[in-house]
A and B are shown apart, each in its own frame.
Chain A
Amino acid sequence: MSTATVAQTLRHVAIAGNPNCGKSTIFNALTGLRQKVGNYPGVTVERKVGRFFGSHGEPMTLLDLPGSYSLQVRSPDEAVSRDVLLGRRADTPRPDVVVAVVDASNLERNLYLVAQLLDLRLPTILALNMADLAEANGTMIDVNRLSAELGVPVIPMVASKGTGLVELRQALSRQPLPEPPPRPPVPPALEREALALAGRLAVTGDVAFAEALLLLTLHDDALNDLAERDGETVRAALAAQARLREEGVEPLSALVESRYEWIHEVCSRAARKSVAEGGEGLTVSDRLDRILTHRVWGWVAFLGAMALMFFCIFSIAQVPMDWIDGGTQWLGGWVADHLPESNLRSLIATGVIPGVGGVVIFLPQILILFFFLGLLDDTGYMARAAFMMDRVMSSVGLHGKSFIPLLSSFACAIPGIMAARTVENRKDRLVTILVAPLMSCSARLPVYTLMIAVLLPAASAFTQAGIMLSMYMIGIVAACGMAWLFKKTLLKSETPMLLLELPPYRLPVLRTVLRRMVERSGLFLKRAGTIIFALSILLWALATYPKPSNPETSKADAISQSFAGRMGHFIEPAIRPLGYDWKIGIGLVGSFAAREVFIGTMGIVYNVAGDVDDNTVPLRDTMRAELHPDGTPVYTPLVCVSLMIFYVLAMQCISTVAVVRRETNSWRWPLFQIAYMTGLAWAAAFLVFHVGHLLGFQ
Chain B
Amino acid sequence: MTAPENPAAPANLASPAAPATTLSGLPVGGKGRITGFDLPPAQRGRLFEMGLTVGAQVELVRFAPLGDPIDIKVRGYHLSLRKREAAGIRVSPL
Binding site for B on A (CB under 8 A): 69-70, 72, 74, 105-109, 112, 217, 219-222, 252-253, 256-257, 260, 289, 293-295, 298-299, 383, 387-388, 390-392, 394, 400, 497-504
B71 to chain A minimum Cβ distance, whole angstroms, is: 6
Docked CA distance A109–B56 (Å): 12
B15 within 8 A of A: no
Q: A109-B77, A390-B69 are in contact. Are A256 and B82 (CB under 8 A)?
A: no
B14 lies within 8 A of chain A by Cβ: no
CB distance from A676 to the nearest CB of B (A): 29
Which residues in B have some Cβ–Cβ distance to A below 8 Å?
41-51, 53-56, 61-62, 64-69, 71, 75-82, 85
Complexed CA–CA distance, A74 and B75 (Å):
21
A74, A108, A257, A391: the one within 8 Å of B69 (CB):
A391
Closest to B74 in A: A109
- In the bound complex, residues from chain B placing their C-beta under 8 Å from that of A253 are 44, 48, 53-54
The answer, among A70, A108, A394, A503, for a CB contact under 8 Å with B75, is A108
B87 CB to nearest A CB, Å: 12
Q: Within the complex, what minimum Cβ distance (angstroms) separates B90 from chain A?
A: 14
- Among candidates B54, B67, B76, residue contacting A108 with C-beta atoms closer than 8 Å: B76
Interchain CA distance A394-B79 in the complex, whole Å? 18
Q: Nearest Cβ distance between residue B6 and chain A, in whole angstroms?
A: 18
Q: Which 5 A-B pairs have the closest CB atoms?
A: A391-B66, A502-B78, A256-B48, A500-B80, A108-B75
Q: A106 to B74: give the CA distance in the assembly, Å.
A: 10
Look across to chain A and name the residue whose beta carbon is closest to the beta carbon of B79.
A501
Chain A residues, CB < 8 A from B49: 69-70, 72, 112, 256
A221 to B77, CA, bound (A): 30
Main secondary structure of the interface of B (DSSP, over half): mixed
User: Given A388-B66, A502-B71, A74 and B79 touching (CB < 8 A)?
Assistant: no
CA A260 – CA B61 in complex, angstroms? Answer: 22
Q: Is there contact, CB below 8 Å, between B53 and A294?
A: no
Is there contact, CB below 8 Å, between B65 and A502?
Answer: no
Chain B residues with CB under 8 Å of A109's CB are: 50-51, 75-77
User: Is A387 within 8 A of B42, CB to CB?
Assistant: no
Beyond known contacts A69-B49, A253-B44, A500-B69: 18 more, CB 8 A cutoff? A70-B49, A107-B76, A108-B51, A108-B75, A109-B76, A217-B45, A219-B45, A252-B41, A253-B48, A289-B61, A293-B71, A383-B80, A387-B69, A388-B64, A391-B66, A499-B46, A500-B80, A502-B71
Contact flag A299-B42 (CB < 8 Å), given A253-B48, A501-B77, A502-B80: no
Bound together, the chains give a CA A74 to CA B47 distance in angstroms of: 12
Number of A-B contacts (CB under 8 A): 117
- Smallest beta-carbon distance B25→chain A, Å: 18
Residue of A nearest to B47 (CB): A499
What are 28 A-B residue pairs whose CB atoms fall within 8 Å in the complex?
A: A69-B46, A72-B45, A106-B76, A108-B75, A108-B76, A109-B50, A112-B51, A217-B45, A220-B41, A221-B42, A252-B48, A253-B48, A260-B75, A289-B71, A293-B64, A293-B71, A387-B80, A390-B64, A390-B68, A391-B67, A498-B82, A499-B80, A499-B81, A499-B85, A501-B50, A501-B79, A503-B77, A504-B78
**A46-B33 Cα distance, complex, nearest whole Å:** 39
Residues of chain B lying within 8 A (CB to CB) of residue A220: 41
Contact among B51, B55, B81 with A498 in the assembled complex (CB-CB below 8 Å): B81
CA distance in complex: A453, B44 (Å)? 57
- Output the least CB separation between A221 and chain B (Å): 6
CB of A273, distance to nearest CB on chain B (Å): 9
- In the bound complex, do residue A501 and residue B45 qualify as a contact, i.e. CB atoms below 8 Å apart? no
Given A256-B49, A293-B71, A392-B66, A502:B54 Cβ within 8 A: no
Cβ of A497 and Cβ of B51 under 8 Å apart? no
Choose among B44, B50, B75 the residue that contacts A69 (Cβ–Cβ < 8 A). Answer: B50
Contact A299 B53 (CB under 8 A): no
How far is it, in angstroms, between the C-alpha of A293 and the C-alpha of B42 when the chains are bound?
30
Contact residues in A for B68 (Cβ distance below 8 Å): 390-391, 394
Given contacts A72-B45, A112-B51, A293-B71, contact A106 B77 (CB under 8 A): yes
User: Whose C-beta in chain A lies nearest to the C-beta of B43?
Assistant: A497
Contact of B48 with A391 in the complex, beta carbons under 8 Å = no
The minimal Cβ–Cβ distance linking B70 to chain A, given in whole angstroms, is 9
- B76 near A498 (CB under 8 angstroms)? no
Residues in A whose Cβ lies below 8 Å from that of B65: 293-295, 298-299, 388
| Cα of A221 to Cα of B40 in the assembled complex, Å | 11
Contacts of B53 in A (CB 8 A): 253, 256-257, 260
User: What's the Cα separation between A105 and B77 when bound, in Å?
Assistant: 9
Q: Is the CB of B62 within 8 A of A293?
A: yes
Question: Contacts of A387 on B, CB cut-off 8 Å?
Answer: 64, 69, 71, 80
Residues from chain A with a CB closer than 8 A to the CB of B67 are: 391
The distance in angstroms between the C-alpha atoms of A14 and B3, with both chains bound, is 44
Q: B80 contacts which chain A residues (CB < 8 A)?
A: 383, 387, 390, 498-502
- Inter-subunit contact A219/B41 (CB<8 Å): yes
A220 to B40, CA, bound (A): 11
Give complex CA distance A394, B81 in Å: 12
Decide if B64 touches A391 in the complex (CB within 8 Å). yes
Given contacts A106-B76, A109-B75, contact A499 B66 (CB under 8 A): no
Contacts of B85 in A (CB 8 A): 497-499
A257 near B54 with CB under 8 A, answer yes
| Contact yes or no, A501 B82, CB < 8 A | no
- Name B41's closest neighbour in chain A (CB-CB): A219
Give the docked Cα–Cα distance between A499 and B47 (Å): 8
A497-B81, A501-B77 known; A260 and B45 CB under 8 Å? no
CA distance A535 to B79 in the complex (A): 47
Report the bound CA distance from A498 to B70 in whole Å: 10
Q: Distance (Å) between the CB of A555 and the closest chain B CB? A: 56
